[in-house]
Each structure stands twice: as structure tokens, then as C-alpha cells.
Amino acid sequence: MVEITLENLRKTFGEVLATDEVNMVLREGELSTLLGPSGCGKTTLLRLIAGFYAPDHGRIYFDDKDVTGVPPHKRNTGMCFQNYALWPHMSVSDNVAYGLKLKRVNGMKYTKAAIDRRVQAALDLVHMGELGQRHIHQLSGGQQQRVALARALVIEPDVLLLDEPLSNLDAKLRIDMREEIIRIQKELSITTVYVTHDQHEALSISDMVAVMDKGYVQQFDTPKEIYANPQTVFVADFIGQCTFIDGLVESVGDIIQVRIPNGQIVSGRTTIFNYPFMADESVKAAIRPEDLHLSKTSSSDNEIDGTVSRTIYIGSAIEVYFKVGEISAQALLDPSSRIKEGDEIRLYAGTKEVMVLPVGGIEALRKVPGHPMATSQASDSVNA
């Protein structure tokens, strides 16, 4: 298994910027997810790691080896594509064996017995051991995904690359296959890079998550840290749900006070260490639905008044949608709450539960001393 280091990667297609200023270390034996909406650059970044694309500039290392110019077939990576890319005229076993028949070790081919043994072991690993003689058209979508996974693993890759592997499956199959991928990844302790646009999927399977937008990695951290301390408005909005209230910084300290349009002062915390907030700077106060409560827990709690526009019972909680002036907000409250449409409601949020975020994405992060985005910009200026 290997550690993958990406240094200041940039890739364009004509006038289109696909990805830029990517600096990450994907640790050995971990599952790292590239997460973001369509067109954010996550599949481009995966293909750069695989070697299908060459970067405009920047370097890619597998451990200490620079593989930037190494062709895909010499990187020892296994890849699962979104559409599986299985041969319809071949049996399951022949599909899995295909890569082994092409592979050479020290210039020598695998024997037929060695191929058969490895194929069977790979199929057993994905729980398809009894279906080797079936053809692809005889398999369900979930079974086809398992075959594609076995084909990627049978060559014993150093790195496993998965490009939205579950997007073609229904909800129940997605959950089942997600658990299978986690099981196999942990069992083999293989360095894995996983692409998805599904934030719930990313949070549930990943050791590390890179949240991408418009070609840039806006945050790379553990799922827990990304959810609890989003670095940009985009990350806070894309990961989970948030109510955002525009405001201006009133005062800066351990607690940041923000004046919102109705004149009320909201107190919260920064999620970005060392961000240089200034008085009268435009910011957004962000609150998760589960962080709004019907009763105070502290005298310093923020009070938020609104009018209920809709309630939805979801079993374990009630989703309450309400308006704070012109702002639409959401709370997740106890299911026994007797709240109905049209009610005037007062909710409370602790200062540690209100996140104060600068306006802007990458541009805001560039202002943070020592931040990777500030460093990469400086590097670009030197290279220019």
C-alpha cells in the first residue's frame, strides 16, 4: 500500500479550469473521498491520480516515487468506473481475469492456474464465488458492481480508485454495497480514493473527505471535523443542512458578535483558526437544525424568533420550517413538540452552536496565515 501526495496540481481543458491548487496527502491504508457537485473537478482529480490525464503543472507521488509522468498501466492502480465497464460477451470469471492476463511481473506472465486461483479468491472476497460462469447480462446491478470491484482488486493494486461506484444502484443496494466496500477496504487495508456527490455516503465511509467546488479543494479533513467546523459557506451548506443569516461583524474576540438585518446581535464562534475578522466585515451566521432548541441552556444563548411555515413529522424528530423576517430557517425538534403551521416560535442556540463564516470561498481562505490555499497562491506567484 502507498501514501499519495498531490502537490499543487492544476488541470485545464482549453479555457475550462477543471482543478487547481490541489495539495493533499492521502494516507496509506485510508479511504479518502473526493466530494462535491457535478462539474467540481473530483473525477478529473481521480483521473490525474490514475494517470489517465497529465496535469498542466504540479506533481503526484506514490510514497517517494514521482509518478506524474508514469502511464496508467505502470502505476499499479485498480479502478472501478461509474458504468462498471464490464465486457458483456465474457463470463464473470473472464471479466475478472482480464487484467491478470495482461499483467507482467518481472517480464513474466501469470500461469493459468495462478490466474484461476486469484480470480476465485477475488470473487470470494466480494461474495460472488459461486457465479463465476455466469454472463454479465444475467447479473443484477449490485452483482455487476461486485464483479467490477473484484476485477480492480484481483491485480493486487497499491491504490484502489472508485468513481461514483454506487450511483447506478437503488437506495437499499447502495447501503449494502457501501458496507461491502468498507469491509473489503478495511480487510485489505488498501489506500482508496472514492468519488461521490452524496454527502451522506462520504461522511459514512471515509477516513478523510476533500470537499470540492469549481475545481478547488475547499476543505480536506475528517468527516467529523468537516461537519463540526466547515471552513467556508459552501462546505457548511453542502455538508448537512444550515440556516444562514447575513450580518456584519460587531466585535471580534473568543466570541464573535454579528449584527443581523433586524438589528439583533447574534453571538457565535469562528470555525477557521486565525481568520482575521474585522469590524463591519460581511459574514454569515450558520446554524445547524439540530442546534436550535425550545429552551435555554445558558443565559448567553442566542434567541431567534420566527413564524412557523411548515412542520414535517419524521419519526425521531419534527422538522420545523420557519421564517425569521425574510430568511427561511429550519429546526429539528423533539417529536412530542406541539408546534403547528402559523405559530410564533422562539428558539435558542448556544454561542458555540452558531458558526460565523466569512463570505467567499477560496478567496476567504487565502487571508488565513499559513493556510494551504494562501501558501499555494504564493507558490504560484513565485512559479510565474
Question: Is residue 104 predicted with pLDDT exceeding 80?
Answer: no
Confidence of residue 384 (pLDDT cuts 50, 70, 90): very low
* Mean pLDDT of the 339-354 span: 94
Q: Positive or negative CA dihedral for 311, 314, 318, 320?
A: negative
Contact 230, 239 (CB under 8 A): yes
Question: Is residue 266 predicted with pLDDT exceeding 80?
Answer: yes
> Can you list the domains of the chain with their CATH numbers?
4-228 (3.40.50.300), 233-372 (2.40.50.100)
Weakest mean pLDDT among 109-113, 244-248, 280-284:
109-113
The grid coordinates of residue 229 equal 467546523
What are the helix (H) ranges across 324-371? 362-365
pLDDT at position 382: 42
Q: Is 269 helix (H, G, I), strand (E, B) or coil?
A: strand
- Tell me the pLDDT tens digit for each residue of 307-338: 999 999 999 999 999 998 888 899 999 998 88
The grid coordinates of residue 44 equal 478529473
Instruction: For residues 40 and 266, give the distance between their C-alpha atoms in angstroms, rounded to a whole number.
Output: 33
pLDDT at position 380: 54
* DSSP classification of residue 202: H
* Mean pLDDT of the 263-285 span: 93
- Tell me the pLDDT tens digit for each residue of 156-199: 899 999 999 888 888 888 888 899 999 999 999 999 999 999 99
Confidence of residue 379 (pLDDT cuts 50, 70, 90): low
pLDDT at position 99: 83
- 209 - beta bridge partners? 33, 221
Instruction: For residues 78 and 55, give the distance between their C-alpha atoms in angstroms, rounded to a whole number.
Output: 20
* Mean pLDDT of the 245-271 span: 92
Proportion of the chain above pLDDT 70, given as a percent:
96
* Mean pLDDT of the 192-213 span: 95
pLDDT at position 372: 78
Contact 257, 265 (CB under 8 A): yes
The grid coordinates of residue 74 equal 505502470
Q: Which residues contact 155 (CB under 8 A, 6 or more apart)?
A: 76, 78, 99, 100, 103
Contact 267, 305 (CB under 8 A): no
Question: Which residue matches cell numbers 494551504?
Answer: 372
State the CB neighbour count (10 A cutoff) for residue 264: 16
- 311 - beta bridge partners? 320
Angle at 350 between CA 349 and CA 355, to 5 degrees: 85
Angle at 85 between CA 82 and CA 91, to 5 degrees: 135
- Tell me the pLDDT tens digit for each residue of 124-141: 999 999 988 998 989 888
- Sheet of strand 302-313, all strands in order from the earlier edge strand to the far edge: 327-333, 318-324, 302-313, 344-349
pLDDT at position 141: 87
Question: Is residue 381 predicted with pLDDT exceeding 80?
Answer: no
This prediction's pTM: 0.89
